[in-house]
Amino acid sequence: MITVLSGGTGTPKLLQGIIRLIDPANMTVVVNTLENSYFSGVYVAADLDTVMYTLSGIINEETWYGIAGDTFITHETLKEIGCGELLKIGDQDRAIKIQKTLLLEKNPLSKAVDIQRRKLGIKSRIIPMSDQESQINIITDQGSLEFHQFLIEQKSEPEVLDLNYSSVEPAPGLVDSIEKSDMVIIGPSNPITSVGPILSLEGVRDALKKSYVVAISPIIGNKPVSGPAGKFMNALGHEVSPAGVATVYQDFLDKFYIDLEDDIHQEKIEKLITEVVVTNTNMNNIEDKVMLARSILGEIL
């Protein structure tokens, strides 16, 4: 049994490798919900949907959100009739979001996601980090922004000075899943706004200290492979490097995977984390993903 902590881009790539090596029924994925919100009348849980679409094999791998080959008739129609759509949501993707919105009228998010993943034929358990709504405040040189205002309206351009988010309760079964796992994998996701919110849940850091935990650096060289992680790390005083990521996880991490490009950081990180593995962590194709997953799962395969 393994538990994977996930955001919405790097970790799903790794999940594609993992499910080729183990029975997906033996995996639980805990997913960030910090960015969840309503858009054009539907509930958008971006990272959860990315994980669901990845595990059911329908993810659009060019964008890492939405469904491959989707059409955008509803999106175009809404725009034509003057309904400003901040997000470009595909038709099939929207159908799944509508179902989630309807399920949420009578169910907590964790139950809604469980119903949907079963309908999509996913054997792994998917646990949203919380059933409660989070609020995030990104304090920038352009003022205080919510996540989508920063990411989409402002294209992640403003300088980030600080950020904070509300505290929420962990979803049912989350802490238990970490405690009962043979290995917990923190995938290469944004350490501040994807993994950070999961770590901040009551009982999670303590459970991780008692478990065998490995993490993969989302930073290669001195920048993230994609997304705004560097800006957020900088704002909170963490060096934008694998060593900076290690400082976020050092109190519970047993093994840290850094990229071949970053071997110069190995000695410095070994002062923080017992075991450091230098390998290719750039997942450009399925071979890269399986190779990295095999290296991580090695001991339990």
Task: Decide if 291 contacts 280 (C-beta within 8 A).
Answer: yes
Q: Does 54 participate in binding ligand GDP (rule CB under 6 A)?
A: no
Q: Among the candidate windows 15-23, 102-110, 204-212, 281-289, which touches ligand GDP by CB under 6 A?
A: 281-289
Q: Does 170 participate in binding ligand GDP (rule CB under 6 A)?
A: no
CA distance 109 to 100: 8
Which of 283, 290, 293, 296 contacts ligand GDP by CB under 6 A? 283
Of 135, 124, 158, 123, the closest CA to residue 231 belongs to: 158
> C-beta of 218: minimal distance to ligand GDP in Å?
3
Q: Does 227 participate in binding ligand GDP (rule CB under 6 A)?
A: yes
Which of 226, 260, 275, 298 contacts ligand GDP by CB under 6 A? 226
> C-beta of 260: minimal distance to ligand GDP in Å?
11
Binding-site size for ligand GDP (CB under 6 A) equals 23
Q: Does 59 participate in binding ligand GDP (rule CB under 6 A)?
A: no
Q: Max CA-CA distance within the chain?
A: 59
Q: Does 225 participate in binding ligand GDP (rule CB under 6 A)?
A: yes
Binding site for ligand GDP (CB under 6 A): 7-10, 13, 188-190, 193-194, 216-218, 220, 224-229, 281-283
